[in-house]
Amino acid sequence: MFNFYKIAAVSPKLKLANPEANAQEIISLAKKAEDNKAAIALFPELTLTGYTAGDLFFQQTLLNAQYEALKKILNKTKTLKIVIVLGFALRYRNRLYNCAAVLQNGAVLGIVPKSYIPNKQEFYELRHFVSGKEIKNTKITLLEKEVPFGTDLLFANGLLKFGIEICEDLWAVTPPSNFLASNGANLILNLSASNEIVGKGEYRAELVRTQSARAICAYAYASSNVGESGSDTIFSGDLIISEYGSIIARDSKLSLESKILYADVDLERVSNIRYLDSSYSQSETGDIKIVNLNSINTPDTLKRHFDPHPFVPKDNALRQKRCEEITDIQAFALIRRMKQANIKRAVIGISGGLDSTLALLATHKAFKIAGWDSKNIIAITMPGFGTTGRTYNNAVKLTEALNVTFKEISIKELALLEFEAINHNKNKHDVTYENVQARARTAILMNTANKENGLVIGTGDLSEIALGWSTYNGDHISMFGLNSGIPKTLVRYLIEYFANSNKSAGEVLKDILNTPVSPELLPSSNDKIEQVTEDIIGPYELHDFFLYHFIRHGFSPKKILFLAINAFENYDEETIKKWLKLFIKRFFTQQFKRNCMPDGVMVGTVTLSPRTNWRMPSDADYTVFLKELE
């Protein structure tokens, strides 16, 4: 299903040094994971014997019992499609290796040895095991069958390609997963036996999270539990599943019983991010052996949260931190541009709407940081035929609260002269009627900037730029696009951030937040906004969702539709499809505006400036993309 794979990280109830009893539990849990449509069941390090068996690893009786237990598991899982990855102590050339065994359909598909053997503090693993780091391109005979053995193995089926590292390997300076990921592994499995001490759990989770980010992969981690020896250490059975820098599922509770943690990982996402990451393509590769898996389980349904607002952090504290960071980026970028131009005045059109409000607030912050007089911010309101009292009054109140220079220049007379000059009927409220007003405002701003030796601040946001919701050579143009990296769904929270920190402007900002988004270019009725943007082009929360997954992840329209249906409860499929089709059409046909957009600061990973991370010809045809939705 759209290259989602369900991973089961398992910490089974353990009977130390009793492989037969452990095998029975493994079989039961593998069948349970199979019933839940998991593609892989990942078990802890040395699953059959337990990690803390100590010098019993020197006893042939324990090793023989382990081999018999493995036979039993293979026999009882022949009919299962699930891939079972479990810990196994392997004797090879009179040496003992701590390994992972990959099983499917009653067969051992490969054995991967541990590379880094800890011998420190509470760990004395070198007493029993040796490193398998140098073992590559090797086959061994196991249970009378030839099996690939080495650290150079990747296991694959379709887009799924996983590699394995074992416990300490993750903690090493150069984890094996770096090499495995460079050679195509988009999922790393870690079989572990990590004991609990104060603070270690947080550090362990951070290792998993950051390694999934560094290797651009999904990462599943399964550790042994309290069934290990508790003489001097205790094991929690920590289970973690992470995807590209985010932990998407975790169970770190201590337990005497078996635990299974499920998560649906999006391997298409991490694979597409790799295509966009030039450093990944330059990473070190080497000889690798691909072991093909048989047909694997795919999920019928997904138990995964899809954030409907991917640009906006859900956590309030994190959101506040992001707002501070974003407005700092805006402010310092503007200071840098104005210093470069040797200009200390800013000219901005203020309408009482969201975007011009944010641009004015960010400009005001820049002047405050730089120690410049706020009166050198020239805020011009330019009422037209559609301007309402509410937006006009809010524009005036905001300029007063911020103590900036306020000017009012009506565009009505200019627009009427333009209509007459081009022989346009002033009662014909078409695109010409609207764009004449938008271009009149831009001309006023540009000419005022020349007169005052100022810099025209652009107010258009990322969502408008994506949809081309601007007038070419009108509000499309400025001298610095201060909001060009900020999507509409985030604009509201940034204004809310300013409202909470600026008492004098707080009340007017709250009213601006409650005002419908509108260009106000058509005549109003009874002083009410008639032209509501989202009624015309669709909800911005949907368009921001489409934009994020189209640009950041390179997803197809079909997958974006699937994700949106799962993310939004307040829209049905037909509504989402309708606006997605419009998004695709507008995104492609409006590229010509983006190809000549002014400079503007990048604040996130998604931006549409042709000078940063989106380059696209204006002539590209959208029909192949739209066809997916037919």
Domain at 413, CATH number: 3.40.50.620
List C-alpha distances in Å: 507 to 368, 523, 581.
21, 27, 38
Single-letter code of the amino acid located at 548: Y
Q: Closest by alpha carbon to 265, among 2, 496, 529?
A: 2
Helices (H), 502-622: 503-513, 533-537, 540-552, 557-567, 573-589, 591-594
Helices (H), 371-430: 389-402, 412-421
Average pLDDT over residues 516-524: 82
Q: How many domains does the chain have?
A: 2
Task: Kindly report the length of the chain.
Answer: 630
pLDDT tens-place string over residues 540-560: 999 999 999 999 999 999 999
Average pLDDT over residues 234-253: 95
Q: Closest by alpha carbon to 365, among 490, 452, 457, 461?
A: 457
Q: Are residues 251 and 341 in the same domain?
A: no
Q: Are residues 138 and 54 in the same domain?
A: yes
**pLDDT for 524:** 77
Q: Are residues 103 and 213 in the same domain?
A: yes
Angle at the Cα of 273 (from 272 to 274), degrees rounded to 5? 90
| Strand order across the beta sheet in which 138-142 lies | 138-142, 145-149, 107-113, 95-104, 83-92, 40-42, 4-11, 259-266
pLDDT over 80 at 7, yes or no: yes
Residue 297: DSSP 8-state: -
The catalytic residue positions are 45, 114, 167
Comparison of pLDDT for 198 and 147, the residue scoring more: 147
Give this prediction's pTM.
0.92
In-domain check, residue 22? yes
40-42/4-11 β-pairing: parallel
Q: How confident is the model at residue 278 (pLDDT cuts 50, 70, 90)?
A: confident
pLDDT over 90 at 526, yes or no: no
Average pLDDT over residues 65-83: 97
Q: Closest by alpha carbon to 557, among 538, 575, 591, 584?
A: 584
pLDDT tens-place string over residues 88-138: 999 999 999 999 999 999 999 999 999 999 987 767 899 999 999 999 999
Q: Are residues 443 and 523 in the same domain?
A: yes
User: What's the chain's average pLDDT?
Assistant: 95
Q: Decide: helix, strand or coil at residue 48.
A: coil
In-domain check, residue 584? no
Structure tokens at 163: 């590699």
**pLDDT for 521:** 81
In-domain check, residue 568? no
Handedness of CA 202, 203, 208, 210 (dihedral sign): positive
Q: Are residues 242 and 364 in the same domain?
A: no
Helix (H) or strand (E) holding 73: helix 60-76
In-domain check, residue 588? no
Comparison of pLDDT for 455 and 236, the residue scoring more: 455
User: What are the start-end ranges of the E strands in 187-314?
Assistant: 187-192, 218-223, 239-243, 246-251, 259-266, 289-292
Structure tokens at 135: 């073992």
**pLDDT for 527:** 74
**pLDDT for 445:** 98
Average pLDDT over residues 450-466: 97
**pLDDT for 549:** 97
Distance CA 362, CA 62 (A): 69
Quick one: what percent of the chain has pLDDT higher than 90? 88
pLDDT over 80 at 226, yes or no: yes
Residue where a domain terminates, one of 502, 536, 570:
536
Q: How confident is the model at residue 583 (pLDDT cuts 50, 70, 90)?
A: very high
- Bridge partner list, 260: 10
pLDDT over 80 at 279, yes or no: yes
- The full DSSP string for 310-333 is TTS-SSHHHHHHHHHHHHHHHHHH
Residue where a domain terminates, one of 536, 567, 599:
536
pLDDT over 80 at 61, yes or no: yes
Q: How confident is the model at residue 236 (pLDDT cuts 50, 70, 90)?
A: confident
Single-letter code of the amino acid located at 37: K
Q: Decide: helix, strand or coil at residue 497.
A: helix
Residue in this structure with the two tokens 């059409």, named with its chain if needed: 585
In-domain check, residue 261? yes
The CATH number assigned to the domain holding 163 equals 3.60.110.10
**pLDDT for 195:** 85
Q: Are residues 13 and 138 in the same domain?
A: yes
Find out whether 568 and 308 touch, Cβ atoms under 8 Å.
yes
pLDDT over 90 at 437, yes or no: yes
| Strand order across the beta sheet in which 246-251 lies | 246-251, 239-243, 218-223, 187-192, 160-166, 153-157, 289-292
Residue 260: DSSP 8-state: E
In-domain check, residue 562? no
Residue where a domain terminates, one of 509, 536, 563:
536
List C-alpha distances in Å: 158 to 292, 295, 374.
9, 9, 60
Q: Are residues 337 and 256 in the same domain?
A: no
In-domain check, residue 468? yes
Distance CA 216, CA 246 (A): 11
Quick one: what percent of the chain has pLDDT higher than 70? 100
Q: Return all residues near 428 (Cβ < 8 A) that are at least 6 apart.
A: none
First to last CA, the chain: 19
pLDDT over 80 at 398, yes or no: yes
Distance CA 466, CA 419 (A): 30
Q: Are residues 136 and 200 in the same domain?
A: yes
218-223/239-243 β-pairing: antiparallel
**By mean pLDDT, which of 54-63, 86-95, 196-205, 217-226 is the weakest?**
196-205
pLDDT over 80 at 230, yes or no: no
In-domain check, residue 544? no
Distance CA 619, CA 562 (A): 28
Average pLDDT over residues 142-164: 97
Find out whether 189 and 8 touch, Cβ atoms under 8 Å.
no
Q: Closest by alpha carbon to 459, among 472, 470, 468?
A: 470
Average pLDDT over residues 577-602: 97
Find out whether 425 and 419 touch, Cβ atoms under 8 Å.
yes
Average pLDDT over residues 515-527: 81
Q: Are residues 416 and 499 in the same domain?
A: yes
Average pLDDT over residues 450-475: 97
Q: Closest by alpha carbon to 31, among 93, 77, 73?
A: 77
Q: Are residues 124 and 220 in the same domain?
A: yes
Distance CA 165, CA 593 (A): 49
Q: How confident is the model at residue 407 (pLDDT cuts 50, 70, 90)?
A: very high
Q: Are residues 265 and 406 in the same domain?
A: no
Comparison of pLDDT for 519 and 28, the residue scoring more: 28
Q: Decide: helix, strand or coil at residue 70.
A: helix
**pLDDT for 532:** 81
**pLDDT for 486:** 97
Structure tokens at 170: 């993750």
Q: Closest by alpha carbon to 225, among 483, 451, 15?
A: 15
Comparison of pLDDT for 33 and 525, the residue scoring more: 33
Q: Are residues 496 and 428 in the same domain?
A: yes
Find out whether 434 and 519 touch, Cβ atoms under 8 Å.
yes
pLDDT over 80 at 529, yes or no: no
The domain of 323 spans 316-536
Distance CA 368, CA 128 (A): 65
Helices (H), 191-306: 200-214, 267-276, 278-281
